[in-house]
Amino acid sequence: MNDSSMSWMKGWTNFDPNHEAYPEADRDIPNIIDEDTYLSNEFTYLLSGNVYVINGATLTIQEGTILRCDTETPTSLVVTSGSRLIARGLKGQPIVFTSDNPPKARKSGDWGGIIIAGSATINSPAPSGILEGNFLPQYSLYGGNDDDEMTAIMTYIRIEYAGKKINQSKELNGLSLYAVGKKSILNNIMISHSADDSFEFFGGTLDINNLVSYKAKDDDYDFTLGYRGELYNIVAIRHPYISDISGSYAIEIDGYDKKSGLTAKQLSIVRIKEATLINLSDNSNYQHTSAAISSKNLAQLNFSDSRISGFANVVKFDNSYTSYSNLQQSFSLENSIFNVHDQNVVSRLAGTTDVQKLLKYNMFTTQFKSAADLFENPLDKKNPKFTLKQSRDSYTVMQ
């Protein structure tokens, strides 16, 4: 396990966006973008209402551009299938999507989020689906058979105070990636204070890296509809008092969507390397935490070189996994360290001794440790550090 300093997060992230004095918007963005459009960092832009990029148009956003998002009307950026978003921020000049409220008045769910609709494959009886949310139906289709497609380039982006749970079947995430293909490029993206999931992947074949989810209300990373891809360098920072009533996890994955039904197509298969999943719990509030990972509907998930801390359990499986060999084929965690306060693995088979063998070749704490005990400076409000303390060797053992 490479316990790096996570230096890739420096220079563009912001862990205290509610005190950031962003400039007021001086340009409006039209609700329909049907021709190639360029947004310059000379201006600050207002998104008000749902903005659709349609008809194969490309929306290009210059590095350092700030986009304020209206809190009075349902507001999201929707890049429809066949159109493109090119948003290349720089480490010193990230592109920021944030609430239009002033400092200290911003809150989770101030606006909707960013929706990217691609044309890659999904695990569904139908080759295409309809975007979640109340969007215009003519702009709401996604999915197809082009796993090599390129819909978006997004680098050095911050998405703040987005997300919204409309109802149990309709939700808006900080960033929703629908059937996005492998030629898209997404990295160095931070989503903070989302009122639903931070990142959700609906099918597709995109590989993605350098992601931060900070204090999401629901899941940090959610995978469904047969998503197949690799994630590298991902961070999820949760708080024990911030959770959705339905249950929230750093990672939630299902092999297929029960509402759509199981098909012969590929189940969700995800490989994750260098993940840091932290719940900022301590001995006064750890009882409010759940599992770090929820795996459902025969999903397959492989973790390596990762850190999981502050949760009740490492992983919870639903009842679709009916045997130990089922679990072995579907989940692995290796060369990692974990620190939980309850049983490591929760499943219908948890009573058997074999189940704990799923987590082999790892280090774990002999007793539960708070985030402040285990990491360098995780509670700093402006510049938290999540590097493991060297003193951990005194209370960790090898599995």
Digit-coded pLDDT (tens) for 182-213: 999 999 999 999 999 999 999 999 999 999 99
| Share above pLDDT 90 across residues of the chain, in percent, rounded to a whole number | 79
The mean per-residue pLDDT over the stretch 328-339 comes to 94
Taking only the tens place, the pLDDT of each residue in 164-173 is 877 666 789 9
pLDDT band, very low/low/confident/very high, at 351 (cuts 50, 70, 90):
low
pLDDT bracket for residue 1 (50, 70, 90):
very low
Per the structure, how many domains does the chain have?
2
Nearest to 180 by CA among 149, 226, 220, 138: 149
- Greatest mean pLDDT among 257-266, 328-337, 387-396: 328-337
**Position 223 in a domain:** no
Is residue 263 included in any domain, yes or no? yes
Q: How confident is the model at residue 354 (pLDDT cuts 50, 70, 90)?
A: confident
Same domain, residue pair 161 and 265: no
Q: Is residue 22 part of a domain?
A: no
Residue 60 in domain: yes
Same domain, 178 and 267: no
Residues 197 and 242 in one domain: no
In a domain, 368, yes or no: yes
User: Averaged over 283-293, what is the pLDDT?
Assistant: 93
What's the whole-number mean pLDDT along residues 276-280?
96
pLDDT of residue 350: 67
Residue 227 domain-assigned? no
Residue 228 lies in a domain: no
267 & 396 share domain: yes
pLDDT at res. 233 = 97
The answer on 238 and 177 residing in a single domain is: no
Average pLDDT over residues 99-125: 95
Question: What mean pLDDT is predicted for residues 325-353?
Answer: 88
Kindly state whether residues 202 and 65 are assigned to the same domain. yes
Decide if pLDDT at 27 tops 80: yes
What average pLDDT does the chain have? 92
- 321 shares its domain with 283: yes
Domain housing 273: 234-248+256-399
40 in a structural domain: yes
Question: Do 190 and 100 belong to one domain?
Answer: yes
- 210 and 276, same structural domain? no
**Res. 394: pLDDT tops 90:** no
The string over 157-182, giving b where at least 16 C-beta atoms fall within 10 Å of a residue's C-beta and e elsewhere, is: bbbbbbbbbeeeeebbbbbbbbbbbb
**pLDDT, tens only, 4-17:** 568 899 999 999 99
pLDDT band at 107 (very low <50, low <70, confident <90, very high): very high
Considering the domain architecture, whether residues 205 and 327 belong to the same structural domain is answered as no
- 328 and 363 co-located in one domain: yes
Q: Are residues 212 and 350 in the same domain?
A: no
Mean pLDDT of the 53-78 span: 97
